[in-house]
Chain A
């Protein structure tokens, strides 16, 4: 449903992503992993229209969205949970969620918004307790829930998640991941996931891409990537050199 073809993305003269191609099929969870500064956030921004690729094309559901504006892309069915959450700080949790449904409003009205909000409150009961609190005063994890719930209020078909686990306790991250899998299973939501914790991300993903200094160097089913030696060394924190040394020394 989403295709990136030979995409180049630049900040001025710095090329952050080079000739990257990637696709995400309907109902898939795809993980994008890579070190800091590899260009993951930049790729997400190009998909949601916050940045324009310098070259290459982005296609969603058969339509070319390479040069579409972010608001049009949201209406087309892609919601982006940005890195760092970016909640509307002075507004209440409830208003944050309401604004998430902005793209569904015609002449100030939209149907089903209240029901969706209740469903998300059921998913994140913490948010219901705090629904009249200013979102900026919530804890980091709660703000992350707001950001995810806000994105889901748009009823997206593709969800872009940029480091949903950043700054969160591992149990909270696991909780969020569990919800993501649920959403996929229940509603057929498609997910492109960026996560520092590559192991956790690959565990819930169907497939994965590895990005290194702006290039996609590896791709494949999540299980294969988890078992891949290079990936383990670089992103899963396994010190293979040390593990294999005793064997090498004995030879």
Chain B
């Protein structure tokens, strides 16, 4: 295999992997606040892409405005999901809540299909489609957007959770919910905020990826699963792990598809995940749990 084609696989792998990573980040944020795995995360990614398509092609809005509205729309839907479906049953055991999130994902998907359509859509690239050639491999400007924005989101979230008292308070809700109430944290508000941030992060991923891969009402299923794989791979609860896990899955998938067979592209992520979990059950960057009672 020559340099240019491996570089080509690497570029496309990193591009897709960054979106898996963002999806994984979304899982991580909700998990870190509530201990719930939100299986509707993939739908937030879908909403990012599809809402932008609706705003741009159907309403005829300029692209930047369409992108902005799509992100706001997804954030709002994240808030509604928390208020309507999660808060009323918040005292239920986490496993029940997880099943509720599966129901929500089916609902969002069906609503998009019924209210809009079943077709595949595309979104214009953010800054043209003139490829950049690097050592014989081509890189789309959109890939640079994706990698750059992913880096910014990741850095922003890290700063939020490590430095700001609100970020720490959000983590505290998952560590010890009762104590979080007792130091004066409005736990319900924090859970709401975590759903909004996750939806926003997911939508950012979806709206960036749509120009590269097309989008439709049902892209959330696979993206959600891969994002989940990414955050398990990176160690559940670790935002950096989720991003790194996403990139790793994207790259391996791209090489696997190029060198072995593209028919099994989607299987690679899960094969890698299974193999890793046999060796390191806590994920690549996860710490084995330290707890003392």
> Are A86 and B176 within 8 A (Cβ)?
yes
Asked whether A124 is an interface residue with its Cβ less than 8 Å from the other chain, the reply is no
Contacts of A105 in B (CB 8 A): 165
> Are A137 and B184 within 8 A (Cβ)?
no
**What is the number of residues of chain B that contact chain A, defined by CB distance less than 8 Å?**
22
- Rounded to whole angstroms, the CA-CA distance of A105 and B184 in the bound complex is 10
Asked whether A87 is an interface residue with its Cβ less than 8 Å from the other chain, the reply is yes
Contacts of A82 in B (CB 8 A): 178-179, 182
> Are B166 and A70 within 8 A (Cβ)?
no
Decide yes or no: A74 and B182 within 8 Å by CB, A90-B175, A134-B290, A137-B290 being known contacts. Answer: yes
> Are A71 and B186 within 8 A (Cβ)?
yes
- Identify the interface centre among B168, B179, B185: most chain A CB within 10 Å of its CB: B179
How far in angstroms is the closest Cβ of chain B from A44? 10
How far in angstroms is the closest Cβ of chain A from B20? 26
- Rounded to whole angstroms, the CA-CA distance of A99 and B177 in the bound complex is 13
State the main secondary structure of chain A at its contact with B.
Answer: mixed
Decide yes or no: A89 and B183 within 8 Å by CB, A98-B168, A105-B165 being known contacts. Answer: no
Contacts of B180 in A (CB 8 A): 88, 99
A-B Cβ contacts below 8 A, count:
82
Asked whether B181 is an interface residue with its Cβ less than 8 Å from the other chain, the reply is yes
Asked whether B164 is an interface residue with its Cβ less than 8 Å from the other chain, the reply is yes
Decide yes or no: A88 and B176 within 8 Å by CB, A99-B169, A102-B165 being known contacts. Answer: yes
- Identify the interface centre among B169, B180, B183, B186: most chain A CB within 10 Å of its CB: B183
A103 interface neighbour in B164, B171, B184, B291, Cβ under 8 Å: B184
Contacts of B187 in A (CB 8 A): 71
7 pairs across A/B with beta carbons < 8 Å?
Answer: A71-B186, A86-B182, A91-B175, A137-B292, A150-B183, A151-B182, A154-B183
